[in-house]
Structure 1
Amino acid sequence: MTSYLLVPGFWIDATAWSAVAGDLRARGHDVTALDLGHGPGATARTRVDDVLAALGGAGEPVVLVGHSGAGPVCAAAAERARDRVAHLVFVDTGPLPDGVAQIDFTPPDAQAATRATLAEHGALPMPSRAELDAAGSSTAGIPDTVFDDVRARSTAEPPGVVLTGARRGTPDLSLPKTVVACSFTPADARELIDAGVPGFAEMDGPEWTFVVLPTGHWPMLSAPSELAGVLDGLG
């Protein structure tokens, strides 16, 4: 039996992992899906604390799985609680350098649009399906009813989560790290690694592996059994 801690990215909650978690439990594993804080004071650093609190309650080192915006958070948490993490998994995402926010990783026009939305709404609501696809967060493979339900239950992201970055520690080369590449390929990643692009530059170490799962950016919704199979193979 392997223990898994599944951490959702922006807007979604623990229920987005339901199908994956159920599949892993049917395979005999222990699974916890985490809800991250969405209060007005939430930041990238408080989300690291959310993950650390969950790791502290785990009975044994876990396979820590972060999707999308949770990738940098999980990277930082793993560096502060190395003894609690057996394997670090990035689902269509990667780490970011110390203090680099999610908004810093987007083009200037996208940053301006995000800041305008934050100014208007006081938070960042989950975009429509068309908006996500246009921004590169492919929703391919998600049934319309599933996407509509997830978006209806989504929670807007507080400004501090969008505009701040996590405090990093020192990456441990002995910690296995796997990227589940869904909306990009290992070849795409290789180009970005060679170019030194933040979020990819770290992936050049011997502790990194890639697993290809060709679907959209949200595989827990578009290909849950396939994603569970990938995670099961990492335990």
Structure 2
Amino acid sequence: MTTYVLVPGFWLGAWAWDAVAADVRARGHEVVAVELGHAPGDTAETHVDDVRRALSGVDRAVLVGHSGGGPVCAAAAERARDRVARLVFVDTGPLPDGVAQVEFTPPEVQEWIRAAVEKDGTGQPMPTRAEFAELGTSTEGISDARFDEVHARSLVEPAGAVLTGVRRGTPDPSLPKAVVACSFTPGQVRPMIDAGVPGFAEMGGPEWSFVELPTGHWPMFSEPDRLAGVLAELR
């Protein structure tokens, strides 16, 4: 039996993992879905604290981060190494020390996000499906009805989580790490690893592996059964 600690990406609560968690539990494993803080004052660093609190109650977990939860999990694993047996990034990856999620997007997308945060006053609301298409984020595989349901339950992502990064330590090469590639392919990542692009260069070590799960950026909604199967193999 393996314990999986599942961390959602931007705008989502622990509920986003419900279908995946049910499948993984049915396979005989334990699951802890993390609720990240969405108060106006929360930051990427307070999200690391949220994950560390979840890890404090488990032993040798597979820590899984989706999207904006990926960089948070990377930092949490470095600070609670004794609690983590494997680190899994779902359609995401680690970011360098102090680099915010917004900084890892094209300039025009950064401008759009910063304007959305300024307009809201506390953070970034979840974009509409049309806005995601304009921003280059794939919602493939999610029906309109399901997307509308997710959007209705979404939370404003605090400005501090969008606009600030986390403190990184030294990655442990003995910790197995996997990327579940959904809206991109390992082949697209490899040239950036080889070129030493920050955020990708880290993925070049022998402890890293890639699993392809072709779909949109939210496989917990578009392919929950297949994602559960992939996670069950990453123990």
Normalising TM by the smaller chain, what interval? Answer: over 0.9
Cα deviation digits, residues 57-77 of structure 1 (max 9, x gap):
11x110000000000000000
- Structure 2 equivalent of residue 120 of structure 1: 119
Unaligned runs of 5+ in 1: none
Cα deviation digits, residues 38-93 of structure 1 (max 9, x gap):
111111100000000100111x1100000000000000000000000000000000
Task: Give distance in 2, aligned partners of 1:5 and 1:35.
Answer: 11
Residue 200 of structure 1: CA displacement? Answer: 1.1
2:185 aligned with 1:185: yes
Task: Give distance in 2, aligned partners of 1:181 and 1:136.
Answer: 16
2:22 aligned with 1:3: no
2:102 aligned with 1:99: no
Task: Give distance in 2, aligned partners of 1:30 and 1:4.
Answer: 6
- Structure 2 equivalent of residue 27 of structure 1: 27
Task: Give distance in 2, aligned partners of 1:179 and 1:11.
Answer: 21
**What letter is aligned with 1:70?**
G
- Structure 1 equivalent of residue 64 of structure 2: 65
Task: Give distance in 2, aligned partners of 1:126 and 1:196.
Answer: 31
SS at match of 1:173: coil
SS at match of 1:32: strand
Cα deviation digits, residues 66-123 of structure 1 (max 9, x gap):
0000000000000000000000000000000000000110111111111111111112
SS at match of 2:78: helix
TM-score normalised by the chain length of structure 2: 0.98
Residue 124 of structure 1: CA displacement? Answer: 0.4
Task: Give distance in 2, aligned partners of 1:144 and 1:33.
Answer: 25
**What letter is aligned with 1:44?**
A
- Structure 2 equivalent of residue 133 of structure 1: 133
- Structure 1 equivalent of residue 82 of structure 2: 83
Residue 198 of structure 1: CA displacement? Answer: 2.0
Give the superposed CA RMSD.
Answer: 0.8
SS at match of 1:193: helix
**What letter is aligned with 1:94?**
G
Q: Aligned pairs, how many?
A: 234
**What letter is aligned with 1:71?**
G
SS at match of 1:87: strand
- Structure 2 equivalent of residue 155 of structure 1: 155
2:143 aligned with 1:143: yes
Cα deviation digits, residues 128-162 of structure 1 (max 9, x gap):
11211222221100122211111100001111111
Task: Give distance in 2, aligned partners of 1:136 and 1:22.
Answer: 30
Question: Mapping of 1:207-222 within 5 angstroms?
Answer: 207-222=207-222
Question: Mapping of 1:35-54 within 5 angstroms?
Answer: 35-54=35-54
Task: Give distance in 1, aligned partners of 2:162 and 2:232.
Answer: 31
Task: Give distance in 2, aligned partners of 1:216 and 1:165.
Answer: 25
TM-score normalised by the chain length of structure 1: 0.98
Unaligned runs of 5+ in 2: none
Task: Give distance in 1, aligned partners of 2:84 and 2:11.
Answer: 25
Q: Which runs of 4+ in 1 moved over 6 A?
A: none
Task: Give distance in 2, aligned partners of 1:179 and 1:133.
Answer: 23
